[in-house]
Amino acid sequence: MKHFLSNLSLNTRQTAIDSLMDNAATTVPDPVYFSIGLPNRELLPKRQLHEVYNSIFNLKSDSHFNYGGSKGIAPLLSTISKRENISQDYIMITTGNTQGVELSARLVLNTGDTIAFESYTYAIAHSLTHQYSLNALEIPVEADGMNIEALEQLLQKTAIKALYIIPNANNPTGTTLSLKKRKKLVDLAYQYNFLIIEDDPYRDLIFDTRFPSLFELDPYKEKVIYLYSFSKTIAPTLRTGFILAHPFYIKKLEQFKQTTDSCTSPLNQMVVNEMIKTEDWDNSLEKQRAFYETKKDLTKKFLSKMADMYGWTSNEPAGGLFYWVDTHAGDVTEWLRFAANSGVIFIPGSAFALDDQTNTKFRLCYSYVDNQEMIKGFTRLEESFLEWQNQNTTKNIKKIQQNI
């Protein structure tokens, strides 16, 4: 049957995260999942959603049961226009950010083009390199985001078509791009003529000051395509987000969307609009930020202990759902087997790199589990880490003995 498959099918692979999780099954009855990058269950607005759905179903109009326009329904476009302070000409509704990434790739990338990523980034974005047979380059990341000096040095030697970046609370590294670097990155896009795909699902979960987006800093709106999703702040099941881009790009993106899913669910769009159109939405976001900051601080306390005892290092995130941790102690995919057996799961760093490589880093998601589960999970992480290290020590001793 393989001969029926297109080149696109042949080039499409399972994501590294899915591959790793397939091999990380646990038989422990109460596993702790530091691997799941989802909103916390306590924050799911079940009551509000129930009320909103009821209000929509009680409407005399049945338009929400029909198809909608590819650009999006008028009420949601209007609300987003007001909140983002930009004309509706610059907006298109998407079925989540994954669709935004895919449509943006279709818009600008050809086979053989060169795209740049942060050295660790969202695993789905890496799938573009295989699907479109791209030349992919990784740019090092510092505590305040992408190393812009390294990028500029690369641009002096190599032309790129696009750069994909998560500027706020990056998945997986948790880093946030500084304002100075944001301004410089937009300048470089104009100087070296490349397009920035700005994926920004965590912007509303920044704990303190939120910097302007790259799209906001783009004076002509010609070099940045901006992606946002409500999956992390309302619920993933709604699969609703939006793109901000120059109207020239929006018109072409609408054409691609027509042949992808025709339109994002009008019912889901109506629900999102009802959820975000009042000040209650701002209050909800403030509550979410406070909630996740508490969980971040609890994680920070544990990681400080592990740093003192075992030499782990990490950078405190300015927001979002993730801590990025370096054990400096060997390939953590080996440790994952021990951790899974003890009932705790995390994502090894190799899942977020372009190439499958030995990696001492891992992503710890603090958003999904409750605080008591977190404490239990931290204990299991430490115990399984020690078990893994002790086995490695035993192996090394045996090797030395064999060579004597």
Q: Tell me how far apart the alpha carbons of residues 203 and 213 are, in angstroms, rounded to a whole number.
A: 9
In the block, residue with structure tokens 């992503």 = 363
Q: How many residues does the chain have?
A: 404
Q: Tell me how far apart the alpha carbons of residues 180 and 261 are, in angstroms, rounded to a whole number.
A: 38
* Structural domains of the chain sorted by starting position, each given as residue range(s) with its CATH number in brackets: 2-44+282-403 (3.90.1150.10), 46-279 (3.40.640.10)
Count the alpha carbons within 13 Å of 386 in the hemisphere toward its beta carbon.
7
Contact 112, 131 (CB under 8 A): no
Helix (H) or strand (E) holding 260: none
At CA 321, angle to CA 292 and CA 335, rounded to 5?
Answer: 125
Q: Tell me how far apart the alpha carbons of residues 157 and 186 are, in angstroms, rounded to a whole number.
A: 19
In the block, residue with structure tokens 């395509």 = 225
- Is the C-alpha dihedral spanning 307, 311, 316, 321 positive or negative? negative
DSSP 206-227: BSSPPPPPHHHH-SSS-SEEEE
Give 42-49 contacts, CB < 8 A, sequence gap 24+: 42/291, 42/370, 43/287, 43/288, 43/291, 44/235, 45/234, 45/235, 45/275, 45/284, 48/275, 49/235, 49/271, 49/275
Judged against a pLDDT cut of 80, whether residue 398 lies above it is answered with no
DSSP-assigned letter for residue 360: -
Q: Structure tokens of 270?
A: 């109506």
Q: Tell me how far apart the alpha carbons of residues 144 and 164 are, in angstroms, rounded to a whole number.
A: 17
* Model pLDDT for residues 326-368, shown as the tens digit of each residue: 999 999 999 999 999 999 999 999 999 987 677 999 999 999 9
| Identity at 189, one-letter amino acid code | A
Write down the pLDDT at residue 403. Answer: 58
Write down the pLDDT at residue 402. Answer: 59
* Model pLDDT for residues 230-260, shown as the tens digit of each residue: 999 999 999 999 999 999 999 999 999 999 9
Output the CA–CA distances (angstroms, integers) from residue 71 to 52, 67, 175, 204, 239, in the order listed: 23, 12, 32, 23, 15
Start-end of H helices in 168-278:
179-192, 214-217, 247-258, 266-276
Q: How far is CA 262 from the centre of its chain?
A: 25
Helix (H, G, I), strand (E, B) or coil at 123: helix
Q: Give 163's strand partners.
A: 116, 196
| Identity at 138, one-letter amino acid code | E
* Model pLDDT for residues 381-397, shown as the tens digit of each residue: 999 999 999 997 666 55
Q: Which backbone phi and psi does 263 adopt, to 5 degrees?
A: -160, 155
Write down the pLDDT at residue 394. Answer: 64
* Model pLDDT for residues 106-154, shown as the tens digit of each residue: 999 999 999 999 999 998 888 888 888 999 999 999 999 999 999 999 9
